Amino acid sequence: MIDVARCLAWGSSACRVCYLRCPLRDEAILLDEGRPTIVASVCDGCGICAQACRAVNDLGAIQIIEMR
């Protein structure tokens, strides 16, 4: 899940770190006009995107949530 209020790309930055680090890029994370969106049905929950986000954004805009 991406918290768009915390996401740099959804704000005023051109950040794409989570997208670039995702091993399922263009499948689990897509860019929509430069803003990342997660396709939950494809995401395997590895957490690499969340770690990458925290490396550049102290707020950490991505949370891994278990789907039921």
Question: Which pLDDT score, from 0 to 100, does residue 58 have?
Answer: 92
Question: Which pLDDT score, from 0 to 100, does residue 67 have?
Answer: 73
Question: Which pLDDT score, from 0 to 100, does residue 66 have?
Answer: 83
What residue type is 36 in one-letter code?
P
Q: Report how far residue 59's alpha carbon sits from residue 45's, in angstroms, rounded to the nearest whole number.
A: 20
Question: What backbone phi and psi angles, to 5 degrees, belong to 49?
Answer: -65, -40
pLDDT tens, N- to C-terminus, the chain (68 residues):
999 999 999 998 999 999 999 999 999 999 999 999 999 999 999 999 999 999 999 999 999 988 77
What residue type is 54 in one-letter code?
R
Neighbours of 2 (CB within 10 A): 20
17: part of which helix (H) or strand (E)? helix 17-21
For residues 53 and 17, is the Cβ–Cβ distance under 8 A? yes
Question: Which pLDDT score, from 0 to 100, does residue 23 have?
Answer: 97
